[in-house]
Chains A and B, each alone.
Chain A
Amino acid sequence: METRSAKRKKIAQILQENEAKLKLSSIDRISDLPDHVIHHILLLLPIKCVAQMSVLSKRWKFLWITFPDLDFTTLNPFPLISTKNYKKVSKFEKLRYPLSSQNMDFITQVLSIRDAKNKDIRALCFRACLSFSRLNNLVRNAIRHNVRELDIEVDTEVDTDDFFNFPRCVISSESLKVLKLKSGFRLPPSSIMRNGFQSLHTLSLSLVILYNQPSLSDLFSESSFPLLRNLHLDMCFGLIHLRVGCRALEDLNLERCYHLQGLDVCGAKIERMRVTSCFDAYCNKTWVRMNVPKLEKLIWKFNAVTDVTVFENSNLLHEASIGFFMLKEGKVNMGRLQSANDFFSGLSHVRSLALESQTIEILSKYNIIIQPFYNLKSLELHTGLKKRNVQALAFLFRCSPTLHTLILEIINDYKIERKQWNRDLWSITSTEEEQYWESQIPSLKSFLQHLKVVKIQGFLDCANEVTLAKFLLKHGKALEEMIVCSGYSNRRDSLRRQNIRSQMMGFSWASSNAKVEFQ
């Protein structure tokens, strides 16, 4: 047997021979690889590493000063805190927030050493606390380098409540394609912004101060921002009216615009729309108007029902997730009920619909007449499944004549006891709940003929879901699969679960193919 050192010598010899062989053959040393290939690896590394490698050799310094993407956000992965709060933060936590104003100089320095010939930057991203003049300089510097993507999150370093002004130099940039700006800043007047951003395809503005121009009706008009495809507006304080009509827009995302009272969206190309936490229930004369014929996906959640809704039918609507709400107290507002109805009629072509519990509460409390959803294949309902919700459910089933999949997510509020199901009642066939469902059979004929898959989450053996499950098994002629996910956790309940399982297997089912699975 060779000694280890002899073996090592042998290996070293073989390696040396191989090395020699490799040196003889052509382009196979990594350092001989063209710049763009090495950039390819470097682009996958955090910027800190790439900057460090610039000290390796002159060529590698060159690779750094021609490096296209300057993403400094990897330096401070934690969210920003402003200096206002900085003092309150513990010393330990301060170590996690390295990018204060003094340290921001290196970004300017990095920009300044760019190679004269290849100085174009593709992307600049950072999060920092700095003064407005510094921010403005950095942005102007980046624009001079023909930056294509700017992703900046800033907070004022000064201990005031003042806000930034929008860095106007970005508006006229011809190279800028993506702008994401998060800070407390004031937007310049529409007349100035409207003519700019000619190359922009993605705009994301967060923490915008709009008290001085609460109505943005002509900023996002048909003629503005000709290439804009994605628009994201978040926390626009003071925004009361918004009109969006950009011709090329495909994706619109509005969130946390708490003061919004009027929204007008008109876009021939809009495919995805998301509006959450806008529209306050206490405001009067709120309205929404949507003319989005190519809409495929809609998320509308945590918004109060507006006084007026005009929702032009979106025939291509594929998926919608709806959670609007109304105030529980006070007199019934007929205008708002009509408005909720109008909203539903805009959804009438949807194929997959999810309704939040607040919306189901509205349907439970009031009689809203909705047109049937003839295309609806999947319905997901989030509800506490209280007694008053049962009728709303039956109503929704009536409106879903060709439904394929029903998903019920039962929200179990453990503080409120729902009616427990007495296990002896399994065999009894005429409880009040059962009689109600039996009475619905004629109107649910189409629904029962089409329903194939049922999934119930949060199933406790309370009267309402047990009755419903039993009803669907007994009368669902096309039923293939029922999945019951119980909300049980402890062992005593697992006995109950076993009991339900055996009881559910006990009576006759309408569909011989059906399988029941307990999870």
Chain B
Amino acid sequence: MAQEASSSTSSKTISLKTGDGEIFEIEASAAKQMKTVQRLIDDLGDDITIPLHNVFSKELPKIIEYYKKDITGEITKDFEAEFVKDLNDDEVKVLFLAANYLDANKLFEFLSQNIADRLESKSVEYVRKYFGVENDFTPEEESKLREERAWSFRGIKEDE
């Protein structure tokens, strides 16, 4: 995505540069919601393009879209449902990581809940892949643990 034109000259916009070199504009009031960005603004000033090494051009537009709605106070359950409807589990994960990095509290809470909802019905193996967890148990250790946790493994559904 090419550089987005500044929407209005009346409200201050901040330039954000993603880890893969693209530049996006957000309103200063939206930037306030992202504590990491705000801290960088406080340190570097609001005229400089703020570098965000860990956020990329794929996810930043979505985050900007969320906070655009937030500053007009229009975030409803319907909007949130629509927001995540077409995202797969990995896309949500990437957004969540970005929200955590940006210290964007509202989005972070919302995505935490969404991830929890998505994982609730999944198997342990799916969660392993999802979080990229390496198994450092021996097979004996693992089976012993599973036996200890037998009460929690009762009645699980098949992976979708």
Question: Footprint of B on A, CB under 8 Å?
Answer: 21, 25-31, 33, 37, 40-42, 44-49, 51-61, 75, 98, 103, 106, 109, 113
| Contact (Cβ within 8 A) B131 A31 | yes
- With A28-B54, A51-B152 known, 10 other A-B pairs at CB within 8 A are A27-B54, A28-B97, A30-B96, A30-B97, A31-B133, A44-B113, A44-B117, A52-B149, A55-B124, A113-B148
Question: Footprint of A on B, CB under 8 Å?
Answer: 19-20, 53-54, 93, 96-97, 100-101, 112-113, 115-117, 119-120, 124, 127-128, 130-137, 142, 145-146, 148-154, 156
B-side contacts of A60, CB under 8 Å:
133
Closest to B151 in A: A106
In the complex, what distance in Å separates the CA atom of A55 from the CA atom of B96? 24
In the complex, what distance in Å separates the CA atom of A106 from the CA atom of B142? 18
The 8 A-B pairs with the shortest beta carbon distances in the complex, nearest first, are A44-B116, A51-B152, A106-B151, A48-B152, A55-B145, A56-B133, A30-B131, A28-B54
B54, B101, B149: the one contacting A55 at CB < 8 Å is: B149
B157 to chain A, nearest CB (A): 12
| Contact (Cβ within 8 A) A25 B19 | yes
Closest to A99 in B: B151
A-side contacts of B100, CB under 8 Å:
33, 37
| Contact (Cβ within 8 A) A46 B120 | yes
Given known contacts A26-B54, A31-B133, A33-B100, is B112 in contact with A103 (CB within 8 Å)? Answer: no
A31, A40, A47, A113: the one contacting B152 at CB < 8 Å is: A47
Q: Which of B53, B136, B148, B149 has the most CB of A within 10 A?
A: B149
A115 to chain B, nearest CB (A): 15
In the complex, what distance in Å separates the CA atom of A47 from the CA atom of B127? 15
A-side contacts of B135, CB under 8 Å:
56-57
In the complex, what distance in Å separates the CA atom of A363 from the CA atom of B142? 72
A-side contacts of B131, CB under 8 Å:
30-31, 56
| Contact (Cβ within 8 A) B20 A21 | yes
Q: Which of B20, B142, B148, B153 has the most CB of A within 10 A?
A: B148
| Contact (Cβ within 8 A) B149 A51 | yes
In the complex, what distance in Å separates the CA atom of A52 from the CA atom of B19? 36
| Contact (Cβ within 8 A) A40 B54 | no
A-side contacts of B115, CB under 8 Å:
41
In the complex, what distance in Å separates the CA atom of A237 from the CA atom of B151? 36
